[in-house]
């Protein structure tokens, strides 16, 4: 404290000048409306900037919760939609759907291997089972091949064992879909009749002939179709509708009638 007084005494003229300046500024800002409003405006800008930054941070940390809410809502809407799209009797409307969509977040994913897998944060406790179809918000993503209590392993469509029954949307022609391209963005459709000519951007959708995927879920778009002379069945390159490199959210599809249909097919095979 003694050193402080000593310093102030040694610099008394400078200290007096600073005090007089502060008093002058205070009197000026209290005396004139313009200076007073300028002071409040400056303080308001500062406070607004602080709260705006805080709000941006708060919104950022709330994105995960909001994304989860939107995924659950999308799953509910997809289930309601399938109640009308997949009803075998078109003269009636069923209250319940043949399919249930379970939202899940991707925790692991690959696109650069020959056999790519996806891991999601839903498992047996959430009703996930093997051989469930998996779709992204943009189209087909894969099939569940392994399940634990809280996680599931999905065979990505980017897997050499992944074969999906598809259909050319514009003419209902059945085709098979597989991934044998060096680029994760593209796949191949096979078993195209020689008389059929596909155009660029023709839609390829699920056929609905399996118990895994509902009908008319988008798989991709025709990128290139070259007809082979003398071949009965041809092939074409398609561009997958799902961007597997940025996959974050998926939906696992439960078919409520799968067990019944499996039992029926087993009975027929044993006859």
**Judgement on whether residues 243 and 140 belong to the same structural domain of the protein:** yes
**Judgement on whether residues 188 and 242 belong to the same structural domain of the protein:** yes
**Judgement on whether residues 24 and 108 belong to the same structural domain of the protein:** no
Structural domain count, the chain: 2
- On whether residue 125 sits in a domain, the answer given is yes
Minimum mean pLDDT among 169-173, 241-245, 252-256, 260-264: which range?
260-264
pLDDT in tens, 121-132: 999 999 999 999
Instruction: Identify the pLDDT of residue 55.
Output: 43
Instruction: Identify the pLDDT of residue 193.
Output: 85
**Judgement on whether residues 232 and 126 belong to the same structural domain of the protein:** yes
**Judgement on whether residues 109 and 224 belong to the same structural domain of the protein:** yes
- On whether residue 160 sits in a domain, the answer given is yes
Instruction: Identify the pLDDT of residue 234.
Output: 86
- On whether residue 263 sits in a domain, the answer given is no
**Judgement on whether residues 22 and 112 belong to the same structural domain of the protein:** no
Overall average pLDDT of the 196-204 stretch: 92
Task: Give the residue, 266 or 94, on which the prediction is more confident.
Answer: 266
- On whether residue 70 sits in a domain, the answer given is no
Instruction: Identify the pLDDT of residue 173.
Output: 92
Q: Are 139 and 219 within 8 A, CB to CB?
A: yes
pLDDT in tens, 212-230: 999 999 999 999 987 766 6
Overall average pLDDT of the 128-140 stretch: 93
Exposed e or buried b per residue across 109-140, where buried means at least 16 C-beta atoms within 10 angstroms of its C-beta? bebeeeebbbbbebbeebebeeebbbbbbebb
**What's the CATH number where 197 sits?**
2.40.10.340
From 43, 61, 79, give the residue that closes a domain. 61
Q: What's the distance, CA 163 to chain centroid?
A: 22
% of residues, the chain, pLDDT over 70:
58
**Judgement on whether residues 107 and 57 belong to the same structural domain of the protein:** no
Report whether pLDDT(78) > 80: no
**Judgement on whether residues 154 and 229 belong to the same structural domain of the protein:** yes
- On whether residue 83 sits in a domain, the answer given is no
Beta bridge partners of 220: 204, 240
Name the residue range of residue 226's domain: 99-257
pLDDT in tens, 22-71: 656 555 545 444 444 444 344 434 433 443 454 455 545 555 655 665 66
Instruction: Identify the pLDDT of residue 209.
Output: 86
**Judgement on whether residues 55 and 176 belong to the same structural domain of the protein:** no
Instruction: Identify the pLDDT of residue 187.
Output: 96
**Judgement on whether residues 239 and 129 belong to the same structural domain of the protein:** yes
| Global pTM exceeds 0.85 | no
């Amino acid at each position: 404290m003694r050193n402080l007084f000593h310093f102030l005494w040694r610099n008394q003229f400078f200290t007096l000048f600073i005090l007089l300046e502060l008093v002058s500024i205070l009197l000026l800002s209290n005396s004139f409306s313009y200076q007073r409003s300028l002071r409040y405006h400056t303080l308001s800008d500062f406070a607004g900037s602080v709260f705006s930054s805080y709000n941006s941070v708060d919104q950022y940390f709330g994105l995960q919760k909001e994304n989860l809410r939107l995924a659950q809502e999308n799953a509910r809407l997809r289930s309601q939609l399938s109640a009308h799209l997949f009803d075998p009797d078109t003269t009636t409307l069923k209250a319940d759907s043949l399919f249930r969509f379970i939202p899940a977040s991707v925790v692991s994913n690959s696109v650069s291997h020959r056999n790519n897998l996806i891991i999601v944060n839903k498992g047996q406790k959430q009703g996930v089972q093997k051989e469930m179809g998996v779709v992204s918000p943009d189209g087909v993503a894969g099939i569940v091949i392994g399940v634990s209590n809280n996680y599931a392993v999905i065979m990505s469509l980017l897997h050499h064992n992944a074969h999906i029954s598809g259909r050319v949307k514009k003419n209902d022609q059945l085709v098979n879909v597989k991934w044998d391209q060096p680029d994760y963005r593209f796949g191949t459709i096979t078993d195209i009749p020689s008389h059929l000519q596909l155009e660029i951007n023709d839609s390829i959708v699920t056929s609905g002939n399996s118990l895994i995927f509902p009908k008319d879920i988008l798989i991709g778009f025709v990128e290139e179709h070259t007809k082979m002379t003398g071949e009965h069945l041809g092939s074409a390159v398609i561009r997958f509708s799902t961007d597997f490199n940025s996959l974050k959210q998926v939906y696992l599809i439960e078919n409520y009638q799968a067990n019944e249909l499996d039992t029926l097919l087993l009975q027929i095979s044993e006859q």
